[in-house]
Structure 1
Amino acid sequence: MEFEIRRDRKPQGPRKLRVEREEYFRLVQQGYSNTEASRLVGVHERTGREWRHGRPEGRVKRPRPPAQSARAAAPSPPGPSRYLREDERIHIADRLREKATVRAIAAELGRSPSTVSREIRRNRHPGSGTYRPHAAQARADARRPRPKPAKIARNRELRDFIQQHLDVKWSPEQICQALRDTFPERPEMHVAHETVYQALYIQGRGELRRELAGALRTGRARRVPHRQANCRRPRFIDPMVMISERPAEVEDRAVPGHWEGDLILGKDNASAIGTLVERHTRYVMLLHLPNGRTAEHVRDALVATVQTLPAHLVRSLTWDQGSEMASHGSFTLVTGVPVYFCDPASPWQRGSNENTNGLLRQYFPKGTDLSAHTPEDLVHVAAELNGRPRKTLGWETPAERLHKLIAA
C-alpha cells in the first residue's frame, strides 16, 4: 500500500486528516469494514464512523454531517435499468442475512439468478466474504466508466503471441486456447476470442497490426450477418442415393472412414480444387484438377486419392448435387465406396466440408486462378490445416487423430 501512517500527528494545518480521510473512503469502497479501514489509516474506529455517518448532537461536541468521499458516485437513476441499483443491492444484502436462496432473491427483484449470483461473487468482501451493499455499489460505479485500457494493448507479450499465431493463420479461438495451455498459471495472458476479434475489428486502439485483419478466415474488416444460400436446381436426378438413406453410423461420427467432398472454384469458375474431409477426424485431402472439373476429371482424381488410404478408412462419400459427380456410379464401381447426395440447397448436411472450404479460402482466395497451384502446394496447405488444433477434437490435430486410427 502506498499510504503510510504519519508519525507526527500534531502539525496538520487547517484541513485535518484530509489524506487519511480520502484513503479511508478508498478502502471502504474496496469492501473493508470500518474497523479495518480505520486501523490501516491510523485513526480510531469512532472517527471512521463519524466520517461515514456524521456525528449526532451531544453535550460537548457539535453535530457534524457525514464527510463526502472524494470518489462518491452519482445517485442511480430511478426506474428499470440493465444495471443493479443501490436499493436492489440493499435488498440482496438483507435477504442474504435471512438465508434466502439466490433464485428467491432474483425472483423478488425480477432479475436473472445469474445476475444476482454474479453480483454476490464479484462484490462481496475479499476477506470475510460478506456482502455489503454500499461498498458493492461503489465498486460497481468505479468499474462502469468507459473507455477502459484494453488488455491486449497493455500487455506486449500477449500482443506479440497473438500476432505470431495470426501470421500463421490460427483462428482467435485456437490462439486463446493455446494461451491457456502455454501460460496456465498466468491469468494476465488469458483472453477470450471475442477480445481478439474486437482488437482486429475496432482499429485505432493500437492492440494489433491493421494488416492482421487479413489473417482472419474471411478477411473481412467487420462482421456480417449470415444469409441463406440461394436455391440451386439439381444437376441430375437419377440414379442418386439421397442422404436420408445414409447409415446412422455416419451421422454420429462414431465410426471413421466417412468423407464429405466438394469443389472450390477459381476465377470465372474456370479452375477448381477438390476437397475431401473425414467426418470423424476432420482430416483434409485436396484433389489436383489442372485439366478442368468435368465429371471424368473429378472421378479420376477421387479414385486416385481414395486408393491411397486403407480400406477401413474409406466407407462412404457425401457430396452435393453438382454436375461434377455425374460419374459417381463408375466411381463406386471401381472403389466400392457408396456416394450419398445432399438435398438441394442444404450445405449444412456437409457441415465439416463447408467449414473446411472456408478455411481454404485463406490460401486460395476467390477470384484467383486455382490451376496455378501445383500438387506440392496442395499437399503443403493440407498439411498445415491438418496440423492445427481443433476444439471439436479436444484440441488435438486431425493428423494426430488419424495417426491414432492408423496405428490402431
Structure 2
Amino acid sequence: MSTASSRTPLSLLDREEISRGLAEGLEQKEIAERIGRSPSVVSREIRRHGGRERYRAAHANSHAAMARRRPKVRKLDRLPGLRREVLARLGRGHSPDQIAGRLRREHGHRDPDRVISHEAVYTWIYALPTGELARHGVRLRSGRTTRRPRGRAGTPGARIVGMRSIDERPAEAAGRAVPGHWEGDLIIGRNGQTALGTLVERTSRFFLPVPLLAGKNAGAVCDALIETVTGVPEILRKSLTWDRGSEMAQHQRLSLATDLAVYFAHPHSPWERGTNENTNRLLREYFPKSTDIAGDPAYLKCVAEELNARPRRILAYRTPAEVFTELLTSSVASTD
C-alpha cells in the first residue's frame, strides 16, 4: 500500500484500523504498514488519545476534529485553574520556559490540563490587550510586550599584579561535573555610586550576594568577599573566576584568607564567565540600570532566595537551591 502524506489527516477508517491492530496486539510498525502511514504518525496518534490500553477510534476522531477547529481557544483561556497557576508563577518572576518545564516536572503526562508549553504561555501573553498583564499584577521578566532581538557588549578589563589566567585553572573547573567552582563580578548602580558583588556556583547556578556597604574599591571588595566566602563550606570552595576589573586587585589576600584560588578571564570575554553573566542579567530585574543598588543584607538575602528558587531548564527544571543542597550533601557524604 502506498504511504499517504504525513500531512494528510487520519480518517475515521484509519483510526478504526489502528484500534483493531491494537486489539490484535500488533506492533505500531505493523499497524503503520497496514494503513499506509509512517510509524511516527501512528505512535503520535496512539499517545495523544489514551495510549495502547485506552485508545478508541471514535473518541480519537472526535477529539482530533475539535483540535483542528479555528479559531482555537487558547489553553490558558479555557482552563482557569492552569491560568491562575501560570499567573502566580509569573508573579514570582519565573519565565514562561521555567514555568512550562517545572509544570512538566511536577505533573508529567498524568494530567494534561496542568501542563503547558512555553510558546503557549508567550502567545497568550502577547495576545492580551496592552496593560492587561499588569492588571493581573505580573509582568514578563524582560519587561517586553513583543519579542525582539537583543545583544550585550563586554566590558573592558584592567591589569592586576600577580593574576593567574583562566588558562591555568584546573581542568575540572572548566566542566561542571565537580562542584565548588565559582564565578564572580560586580553590578554597578546609578552613576557608579553603589554596587553589588555577585557569586554563582557553576554546577548548581546557586547565587550568593556580596553586599558592598563600604564601597567598591579593592580593599572593600576583598573584605566583603572574605566575609561571604567563609560562610561557604570548605568542601565547596575550590576556585573563583573573575573578570579583570581593578576591584579584584587584592585577590591574593582573598586567597590567603579563604583558601580559594582566584583566576581571571581573558579581556573582553564575558562568555568565559557565562553563568555569572546570566545571573547578573537576572539581577537587573531587581536592580535596573541607572538605579541605586540596595545594600541592605536582609533584602539581598530575599533576592537571592527568589533567584535560587527559580527552576532552570539547564538543571532539568530543578532549582539552584535544590541542586546546591544535593551537592553539599553528597560532597559531605563522600568525605565520611
Does the CA contact (< 8 Å) of 1:258 and 1:279 recur in 2?
yes
Residue 98 of structure 1 and its aligned partner are, at CA, apart by 10
Partner of 1:170, secondary structure, is coil
Answer yes or no: is 1:224 the counterpart of 2:204.
Answer: no
> Which amino acid is the alignment partner of residue 261 of structure 2?
P
1:245-264 equivalences under 5 Å are: 245-264=168-187
Partner of 2:12, secondary structure, is coil
Does the CA contact (< 8 Å) of 2:179 and 2:201 recur in 1?
yes
Matched residues, number: 295
Q: Which residue of 2 aligns with 1:397?
A: 319
Q: Which residue of 1 aligns with 2:210?
A: 287
Answer yes or no: is 1:296 the counterpart of 2:219.
Answer: yes
Residue 350 of structure 1 and its aligned partner are, at CA, apart by 1.0
TM-score using structure 1 length: 0.63
1:237/1:307 CA distance change after superposition, 3 Å: closer
Q: Which residue of 2 aligns with 1:32?
A: 12
Residue 365 of structure 1 and its aligned partner are, at CA, apart by 2.2
1:267/1:201 CA distance change after superposition, 3 Å: farther
- Gapped regions of structure 2 (runs ≥ 5): 1-8, 17-31, 50-54
Residue 221 of structure 1 and its aligned partner are, at CA, apart by 2.0
1:4-403 equivalences under 5 Å are: 31-33=11-13, 117-118=40-41, 121=44, 143=68, 147-180=71-104, 181-182=106-107, 184-204=109-129, 209-210=133-134, 215-230=139-154, 232-236=155-159, 238-370=161-293, 372-403=294-325
- Gapped regions of structure 1 (runs ≥ 5): 1-28, 37-94, 103-115, 130-134
1:270/1:33 CA distance change after superposition, 3 Å: same
Q: Which structure carries more relative contact order (alpha carbon 8 Å, separation 6+)?
A: 2
Does the CA contact (< 8 Å) of 1:217 and 1:362 recur in 2?
yes
Give the Cα–Cα distance (whole angstroms) in 1 for the partners of residues 11 and 83 of structure 2. 33
Give the Cα–Cα distance (whole angstroms) in 2 for the partners of residues 406 and 373 of structure 1. 28
Residue 291 of structure 1 and its aligned partner are, at CA, apart by 2.7
1:405/1:392 CA distance change after superposition, 3 Å: same
Residue 298 of structure 1 and its aligned partner are, at CA, apart by 0.7
1:196/1:318 CA distance change after superposition, 3 Å: same
Give the Cα–Cα distance (whole angstroms) in 1 for the partners of residues 185 and 267 of structure 2. 14
Residue 227 of structure 1 and its aligned partner are, at CA, apart by 2.3
Give the Cα–Cα distance (whole angstroms) in 2 for the partners of residues 190 and 284 of structure 1. 28
**Percentage of matched positions with identical amino acids:** 45
Does the CA contact (< 8 Å) of 2:198 and 2:208 recur in 1?
yes
Structure (1 or 2) with the larger CA radius of gyration:
1
Give the Cα–Cα distance (whole angstroms) in 1 for the partners of residues 305 and 35 of structure 2. 61
Residue 391 of structure 1 and its aligned partner are, at CA, apart by 3.0
